Each structure stands twice: as C-alpha cells, then as structure tokens.
Amino acid sequence: MFLIFIFIISLSGPAHGQSAEFHGSATVQFLETMQHSQHIKLIQPLHFTDSGGDTWTTEANQVIPLNLLTDEIRLTRPLPSPFEYLKTMILFHGQVEGGRSDWRRTQAIIYEALIAEGMQEHWAKMIYAAVRAEGWRWEPLESSCFAMCHASSPSLRWRPLPDYEQLRHTLDWILIEFPSLPEIDERVEALITHTGPHIFGQ
C-alpha cells in the first residue's frame, strides 16, 4: 500500500536586487510512498542562473528528498524549515542526481541560491556551511574516473564525515560573528574528519 499527496506549487520569480536568480516556475508533487517517504517529484524543469552567468537546470520528473541537511544538524540546531529553501534543495539534489556538474562548483553556489530565494544572510551562511561539511559529493559521469575504474557504475557519490560537535560550534560562530564565505570555507574544511570512501576527486 502507498499514499500519494499531490500539491501543485508555483515557485516563480527571482528575488529582487540579486544578480543570481531562479527562472520561471517549478511545479512539484509531494510523495509519501513506501519507496519515497517525504519526497517531491519535480513536474517542470527548474532553472537557476548564478552570479557568473551560468545556468543550472534540474530536469523534470526527478524524485527529490525533502532534506538538504542530515538529521545530525537538523535535529540539533534551530534552522529554517526546508520549505523556506525548497528551490535550493531542488537545485542541489538535481545536480547530485544528474551527476554531470562538479560537486565543488555546485556547493559553491548554494549560498547565492539561498539568498536569491529570499533567505536571510545569517541563515544562508549556516546552511551553506552545513552543506559544505556534510553535503553529497560525486564524480561527474563524463570524468576519466568512470571510464577507467567505474565504467559499470550508474553513479558514484558519497558524503564526507565532519566533526559534528565542531560543526555545531561553527554554526553558532556564524550566527554570532557573521564571517565571510572564505572564512567559513577555511573553518569547515578543517573540521572534516573523513572526506569519503572515494580515492579520487576529493
């Protein structure tokens, strides 16, 4: 048995005064099934143009989890509801599932995507830091790694393991000190204890 709850939501228009922006609208179907608990299905493609002018697309019909962060962070820190940055979740998970972009570039645009979606800067920096610390990483499908050693694999992705106690302190530090993105990157990089099981492309 399974249940499907369908809600059609229009998520349209860029945030005012931002160089990075989402385009058009996204229509999503909320899923609650045995296979996909708390997921959404994207009915129409979602497009985002970053501050460098590159456009990122999450294709239609992708099934996407309604979480960008792991429980270790979501359940221990009062962060905004995922529904407040739904388009950013669609953007990020679309790149994870598509496997064609570079995970470093994808993580780098999370902050400006959150800002474009209307998130306040301190929340955007906290969510950005968490994604940098524990977010999915993957090997692009066109990379030599697939051709040489993982040709039979449909995808290759992993999560790093941060020191969660230090990550929680880092989120508090962001809230109090309001550091720059380079300062956040440096601090987050230092608290990652294991970059993941994949040898290449770390």
Residue 9: pLDDT over 90: no
* pLDDT (tens digit per residue) in 179-201: 999 999 999 999 999 987 665 54
What burial letters (b/e) apply to 21-51, b meaning 16+ CB within 10 Å?
bbeeebbbbebeeeebeebbbbbebbebbbe
By the 8 A CB rule, do 159 and 130 touch? no
- Note the pLDDT of residue 75: 85
- Note the pLDDT of residue 196: 75
Annotate 3-26 with three-state secondary structure.
EECCCCCCCCCCCCCCCCEEECCC
- Note the pLDDT of residue 76: 84
Instruction: Record the pTM.
Output: 0.83
Domains of the chain, residue spans:
3-194
| Higher per-residue pLDDT: 58 or 142 | 58
16: Cβ–Cβ under 8 A, 6 or more apart, which residues?
Answer: none
- Note the pLDDT of residue 10: 45
Q: What average pLDDT score do residues 172-178 get?
A: 95
* pLDDT (tens digit per residue) in 114-132: 999 999 999 999 999 999 9
- Looking at every residue in the chain, the average pLDDT score rounds to 83
